[in-house]
Amino acid sequence: MNHIFFLLLLSLNSSLALDNGLGLTPPMGWLSWQRYRCTIDCVNHPQECISENLITRQANLMKTEGYLDAGYNYVGIDDCWSESQRDENQRLVPSKERFPRGMKYIADFIQERGLKFGLYGDFGTHTCEGYPGSLNYMEIDATTFAEWGVDYVKVDGCNVDASLMDEGYPKFGEYFNKTGRPMMYSCSWPFYLDLAGISPNWESIIENCNIWRNYYDIQDSWGSVESIMNYFGDNSKRLATYAGPGHWNDPDMLVIGNFGLSYDQSKAQMAVWSILAAPLLMSNDLGNIKLEMKELLLNKDVIAINQDSLGRAGYRPLKKSQISAWKREVSPIISNRTSLAVAFVNHNDNGTPRFGNFTFEELEIDTSEPFNGYEIQDLLPSSTQKYTVYQTDGRYRFEVLVNPTGVLMLKLTAK
């Protein structure tokens, strides 16, 4: 009983900050931007334009194709959904041509399927694509979003002086809270501060946002995914300390299922994003996706790492001979020893799978006695990859063989 009470207190405490109780594990869902951008020409691109048709289609697929059951529950519209002017009451207006029945209709459609509705806004005068932004209209916009039934807001930071953000983002969050409707709050605040050379006030960011962007936009290419991995790897010990239940770093959307990543590269994105405890926000066409990519996105074991209840974000203990090693503490904890998810990404792209050799010390895996070892499971097996664990000179080691620009991902369950 006492234990339960204590646990309750702990989880209350971690969600108090924003006072919305959301995002106790990283959010999962679908977001329009990376794949569909600012496509507004529905005459020439009827299937791709940001419209009622696109969003309701993807929402249906989220449910019928098993994504909702796997945990992906947000469906988000990114930039370019509105008219270019506010109405006479200063309220934002959805594009009349592309969202003829308005946003409440979209929210209802999404929520009737057991999903949640995400919508984009911008803290500046205009969004990144030039649509009306919320500067000077934060209260009206928060109220409008709540009336429409929004469950998740992404607040971008284009077209505004970054020095206003330390005050503005928390203020906008307060207006959202005041509506009484819990809305996941996704901020771009720290990234824009970084760009402006202002050092982020992490305490305030953690307290005010459920997730936040740290780095540049993802593109549909391995180069882009890898540059994000490098950034998060180079800063991972520090960044991991900011993450926890209710507040997570956001390395940007999953591009799996699009044009740019091979199957191995897709596995690598899924593995590293899960170890980083990143939001899993797909941006793809759920109606046109290769089976292997779909199965990867739906992989229960990898999703379980991402959603692990301990809520501890992982990091990159080291990168050696072009293999980066990633590690996250996960449940179960057995005899005081925490289980682990470990991933090895091979950054070398010339030809054949590559061997790597890592001591447990290098991976910062504690083997002090009593040590009963781990039961090891390969979460993303490949016929051309393998791993062995062995002991020499009293040291435990992993030898791994990893495909070019691919990943070997293991779960080490404490014994």
Residues numbered 208 to 237 that lie near ligand GLA (CB under 6 A) are 217
Instruction: Decide: is 194 part of the binding site for ligand GLA (CB under 6 A).
Output: no
Q: What share of the chain is helix, strand, coil (3-state, %, to 5)?
A: 35, 25, 45
78 is catalytic: no
* Tokens, residue 330: 């996960």
Q: Determine which residue in the list 19, 48, 83, 129 makes contact with ligand GLA, applying CB under 6 A.
A: 129
Over the window 171 to 190, marking each residue x when it contacts ligand GLA by CB under 6 A and - when it does not, the resulting string is: -----------------x--
Q: Which lies closer to ligand GLA via its Cβ, residue 257 or residue 353?
A: 257
**Least distance in angstroms from the C-beta of 318 to ligand GLA:** 30
C-alpha count within 13 angstroms, C-beta hemisphere, residue 211: 28
**Least distance in angstroms from the C-beta of 188 to ligand GLA:** 6
Report DSSP state, residue 126. Answer: B
Q: Determine which residue in the list 20, 26, 33, 152 makes contact with ligand GLA, applying CB under 6 A.
A: 33
- Cα dist from 74 to 37, 62, 142, 151, 304, whole Å: 18, 9, 19, 8, 17
Q: For the sheet containing 354-359, what is the strand order?
A: 354-359, 395-402, 386-392
Q: Which lies closer to ligand GLA via its Cβ, residue 214 or residue 236?
A: 214
Q: For the sheet containing 116-122, what is the strand order?
A: 248-250, 211-213, 184-187, 152-156, 116-122, 74-77, 28-31, 280-282
Q: Which lies closer to ligand GLA via its Cβ, residue 128 or residue 402?
A: 128
> In which residue are the tokens 């051309």 written?
384
Q: Which lies closer to ligand GLA via its Cβ, residue 110 or residue 128?
A: 128
Only segment of 9-17, 123-131, 202-210, 359-367 that touches ligand GLA (CB under 6 A): 123-131
Over the window 63 to 102, marking each residue x when it contacts ligand GLA by CB under 6 A and - when it does not, the resulting string is: ---------------xx-----------------------
Instruction: Decide: is 128 part of the binding site for ligand GLA (CB under 6 A).
Output: yes
- Rounded CA-CA distance 176/9 in Å is 25
Instruction: Decide: is 156 part of the binding site for ligand GLA (CB under 6 A).
Output: yes
Binding-site residue total for ligand GLA (CB under 6 A)?
A: 9
User: What's the chain's length in residues?
Assistant: 415
Q: Which lies closer to ligand GLA via its Cβ, residue 127 or residue 346?
A: 127
Residues numbered 265 to 324 that lie near ligand GLA (CB under 6 A) are none
Catalytic residue among 194, 217, 285, 378: 217
Catalytic residue among 156, 250, 252, 308: 156
156 is catalytic: yes
**Least distance in angstroms from the C-beta of 226 to ligand GLA:** 18
381 cis-preceded (ω within 30 degrees of 0): no
Which element (helix H / strand E) includes 266?
A: helix 263-275
Q: Which lies closer to ligand GLA via its Cβ, residue 155 or residue 271?
A: 155
**Residues 354 and 401: beta-carbon distance below 8 Å:** yes
**Residues 407 and 271: beta-carbon distance below 8 Å:** yes
233 contact partners, CB below 8 Å, separation of at least 6: 315, 316, 319, 324, 326
**Residues 261 and 225: beta-carbon distance below 8 Å:** yes
Q: What are phi and psi of 269, to 5 degrees?
A: -65, -45
Q: Which residues are catalytically annotated?
A: 156, 217
Q: Which residues bind ligand GLA (CB under 6 A)?
A: 33, 78-79, 127-129, 156, 188, 217
